[in-house]
Structure 1
Amino acid sequence: MSTSCVTVRFAPSPTGFPHLGSLRTAFYNYVFAKQFNGKFVLRIEDTDKTRIVGASVQSIVDTLKWVNLIPDEGPIFQSERKALYQQKANELLEKEAAYRCFCSQTRLELLRKEAAKNREMPRYDRRCFHLSKEEIKDNFNKKIPFTIRFKLPNELVEFEDMIFGMNSTNVFEVESDPILLKSDGFPTYHLANVVDDNDMKVTHILRGEEWLTSTPKHVLLYRAFGWQPPKFAHLPLLKNKDGSKLSKRNDDLRVDVLRKEGYLPEAIINYLRTIGGGFQNLCEDKIYDLNEIISSFKLDNIHTHACKLDIDKLNLYNRLVIGDYLQNNSSHLVSCLRTLISDKFGADIASEFDDDYLKYILKWSNEGPPIDEILLILGDEKFSQRLKNALSYIKSNNTNSVTQNVAEV
């Protein structure tokens, strides 16, 4: 395969705000694409209207821009491609690779309860697959709602994951016929992803390990359509520092929250390269620019074991970035801090601090408390005034030990 045709996609659902886990997926896709001068596409999977969170799409776009992972195409919205999914589902009906299911939610729930009672895996019994044309026509006339299910073939599915290696599964033995098109006409994840990835000429799919078990089903869909599947690479799971399951609802991991707390994009990008592997000859305690990170990437070196999020390491990278800016471009950092203060306490308070004062604050944070703690104490008027006096003393006495003098406050 020519490396010039590499196309990847980052396909988040707007059901929440970007967090470190989803941003890591975008990061790996971007780095892989750019290493081969390929295309990085942003696709928004917004077909489940009941779960969409307002402003999340804009937050996704803003986050990618902030960390400089700029899409070459998109955002492309799945909700605007409903007719395409319906067309493709009908093609599977014509091939008899899919069938309409008129079963009510009540009947499906009874099947689940019966399976649980017998300690069996809940599976659809394919009742509607055996309906005659006359029965189907009669259901149409009665306007009975229906879904479209994929008829799982009883065959072994083998594919090689670029990270986890060879995978071999007979999906028919362990799963029910999956729903492809819901009764409201919108697709499920399985149909929409396969159709979009083929339509957008996606060559490589880099996504979380949690989707590894769904991949055999997707391979079967590619076969049913007569399409060549892309290459798959599943990224290792992320866990909390204590090894517990990572919650996507943890606001502490939201990128917009980290941004408001004073973390810089360079720190976050450098931190992301440490939670999953794949980068050669990069020091753990050094900051690299994005081009250096891209040139050092090797997909084969990505880990298969779960990775733990360590915010202490992110704090280290943030201090390194702050230190670098203080030496080489302090005006940019001062501007960032002024914006943070303005967002947290208002423009009037932010205007009270001159650039020299904010520079001392930044030096102090790099030696002592992190920026988010400093923002809290800046809101204390008495402390703020005493700190101003201390810093005025520092300036007048031409001393460089910010931490020592502030400690005396």
Structure 2
Amino acid sequence: MVNTSKKPRFRFAPSPTGYLHVGGARTALYNYLLARQLGGDFILRIEDTDLERSTPESIQAILDSMKWLKMEWDEGPYFQTKRFDLYNQYIDQLIKEKKAYPCFCTSQELEAKRALAQKEKRKPMYDRTCYKLSTSDVEKKISSGEKHCIRFHSHDEGSIIINDLVKGRVEIAEKELDDLIIRRTDGSPTYNFTVVIDDMTMGITHVIRGDDHLNNTPRQMQLYQAFGATPPQFAHLPLILGTDKKRLSKRHGATSVMAYYEMGYLPDALINYLARIGWAYKDQEVFTRQDLIEKFSIESVSKAAGVFNPEKLLWLNGLYIRESKPEDLAKLLPHYLEKRGIISNDTSLFVELVKISQEKSKTLEEMADLVDFAFKETRPDEALQNKFLGKENKPHLKLVYDRLEKLENFDIAGITNVFTTLVQETGLKLGQIAQPVRVALSGKNISPGIYEIIRILGKKTCLARISKYLE
């Protein structure tokens, strides 16, 4: 059970070495939901100690993704690179308490030790050569400027026990853990050390993260013990797999959060879908954000890996689009039209366009494709022209042109009457008359309703577009 004896504090701590992956977004979401459910704090921390791979662009991508998903953080973002002085204070404390020591072994010497261990069929572990150095030898080496890292002195007896909220009880003998490097020869602290100091000093009560971090946890538990600190409760989430049951990667499609924004997905749909990967509440599929805050439980997260199914996400996004208020979608649509070179600030027109395309759109990209006819004329491709705008269809187009030209009340009722009357008079099916008009006006054979297209375009534009195929 989640311990709530003091105010819960959760954190999301991504490394800015690339975009925010959907797996990372799910981790952030579970932390966010529990923080809101339990009246706790949600902290954003950027773990940017990998100076070679961390980039400002990646940091911005993480912040943009969090904001788009509307996962507001209560504190931060904190940056590890701005906390080096703090880390060094704690490293110095461990050295003073004889819980850490300088190691002067070169990479060549360490490699030789590893090779020997493998040859002798021993587990490759540091043999504590430098731990055995006398104080005077250590001082001489340091004063001479000899390069060294700092290692944490591990215990040889006892066990580390982790009561994981997802995995259950995990136990490892401390003799299996060698002396962890906590500061590199270049003076930079290592991940396993900084994360403990951050969580400890920030008062983090719960650490929910991917199970690729589970192997790090026993080492981190040792550090908590060394500082006499109470460790947080841990929950390690299983991986997200592709539909082929292999680790989710680009070969399965988009994995970046912001890629889904550009593809026209709604943040609440993605949030809903990510929450359900590896977690369930009865048979419910669709959740509002408030539903998730109220019903989510970390104990109900499956121990097995979840599968990311793009088709199911697409279905869910379509549902969210159909159920959204047209006025809300109208505020989002311009971005996708701008990608097509369409700039407009006609808010009332956007609302109308959403209303006539909402039922047919699974994404805002699809919606933009359906409604761009209102802003630009698209010439149909050769196949569509041959099928719908050839000689045999010109008489039908001419009939519609003539009726629309004479139509005084250019509203839905009047436009509908034009087509129903032509169907009755000619004996043709509605599709035989309407589809050529649709292609002539929109350049596509899939679009919103033909009557709505004609009404929105207006008489002048409709006649101008149709006339080009009557020549």
Instruction: Assess same fold via TM > 0.5.
Output: yes
TM-score normalised by structure 2 residue count: 0.76
Pair 1:7–1:383, CA change in 2 (3 A): farther
Q: Distance in 1 between matches of 2:124 and 2:379?
A: 64
Query: Per the alignment, in what secondary structure is the counterpart of residue 218 of structure 2?
Result: helix
Query: Per the alignment, in what secondary structure is the counterpart of residue 300 of structure 2?
Result: strand
Whether 1:143 aligns to 2:145 is: yes
Whether 1:306 aligns to 2:305 is: yes
Q: For residues 86-139 of structure 1, give each alpha carbon's deviation from its aligned partner in whole angstroms, at most 9, with x where no partner exists.
A: 110111111211111112222223333444445543322211111112221221
Pair 1:119–1:255, CA change in 2 (3 A): same
Structure 1 residues 116-135: aligned runs within 5 Å? 116-135=118-137
Q: Distance in 1 between matches of 2:230 and 2:101?
A: 23
TM-score normalised by structure 1 residue count: 0.86
Q: For residues 205-248 of structure 1, give each alpha carbon's deviation from its aligned partner in whole angstroms, at most 9, with x where no partner exists.
A: 11111111221111111111111111111112211111112338
Q: Distance in 2 between matches of 1:206 and 1:26?
A: 8
Answer whether contact 2:358 2:367 (CA < 8 A) is retained: no
Ranges in structure 2 where 5+ consecutive residues have no aligned partner = 382-438, 456-471
Answer whether contact 2:99 2:226 (CA < 8 A) is retained: yes
User: What residue in structure 2 maps to residue 86 of structure 1?
Assistant: 88
Identity %: 34
User: What residue in structure 2 maps to residue 403 of structure 1?
Assistant: none
Whether 1:382 aligns to 2:371 is: no
Answer whether contact 1:341 1:350 (CA < 8 A) is retained: no
Amino acid in structure 1 at the alignment position of 2:379: K
Pair 1:143–1:251, CA change in 2 (3 A): farther
**Relative to structure 2, which stretch is displaced further, 58-67 or 356-365?**
356-365
User: What residue in structure 1 maps to residue 320 of structure 2?
Assistant: 321
State which structure, 1 or 2, has the greater radius of gyration over its C-alpha atoms. 2
Q: Distance in 2 between matches of 1:56 and 1:214?
A: 24
Shift of 1:163: 1.5
Amino acid in structure 2 at the alignment position of 1:346: G
Pair 1:248–1:3, CA change in 2 (3 A): farther
Structure scoring higher RCO (CA < 8 A, sep ≥ 6) equals 1
Answer whether contact 2:336 2:364 (CA < 8 A) is retained: no
Answer whether contact 1:102 1:145 (CA < 8 A) is retained: yes
Of residues 226, 229, 248, the one that matches 2:228 is 226
Shift of 1:4: 5.8
Shift of 1:150: 1.0
Structure 1 residues 2-401: aligned runs within 5 Å? 2=4, 5-154=7-156, 155-173=158-176, 175-247=177-249, 252-277=254-279, 279-281=280-282, 283-284=284-285, 286=286, 288-325=287-324, 329-342=325-338, 344-348=339-343, 354-355=349-350, 356-357=352-353, 359-366=355-362, 370-372=363-365, 381-383=378-380, 386=440, 388=442, 393-395=450-452
Answer whether contact 2:208 2:234 (CA < 8 A) is retained: yes
Answer whether contact 2:333 2:368 (CA < 8 A) is retained: no
Q: Distance in 1 between matches of 2:43 and 2:251?
A: 25
RMSD between superposed Cα atoms in Å? 2.8
Query: Per the alignment, in what secondary structure is the counterpart of residue 14 of structure 2?
Result: coil
Q: Distance in 2 between matches of 1:247 and 1:112?
A: 33
Q: For residues 17-68 of structure 1, give each alpha carbon's deviation from its aligned partner in whole angstroms, at most 9, with x where no partner exists.
A: 1111000000000111111100000011011111113311122122112111
Shift of 1:380: 10
**Relative to structure 2, which stretch is displaced further, 55-64 or 12-21?**
55-64
How many residues align? The count is 387
Q: Distance in 2 between matches of 1:53 and 1:374?
A: 34
Pair 1:320–1:358, CA change in 2 (3 A): closer
Q: Distance in 1 between matches of 2:313 and 2:24?
A: 16
Shift of 1:149: 0.8
Shift of 1:249: 9.4
Amino acid in structure 1 at the alignment position of 2:329: L
Pair 1:105–1:376, CA change in 2 (3 A): farther
Q: Distance in 2 between matches of 1:99 and 1:268?
A: 48
Q: For residues 355-388 of structure 1, give each alpha carbon's deviation from its aligned partner in whole angstroms, at most 9, with x where no partner exists.
A: 234544443324xxx5546767969942498462
Q: Distance in 2 between matches of 1:19 and 1:337?
A: 25
Answer whether contact 1:25 1:207 (CA < 8 A) is retained: yes
Ranges in structure 1 where 5+ consecutive residues have no aligned partner = 399-409
User: What residue in structure 1 maps to residue 403 of structure 2?
Assistant: none
**Relative to structure 2, which stretch is displaced further, 25-34 or 381-390?**
381-390
Shift of 1:337: 2.2
Query: Per the alignment, in what secondary structure is the counterpart of residue 297 of structure 2?
Result: strand
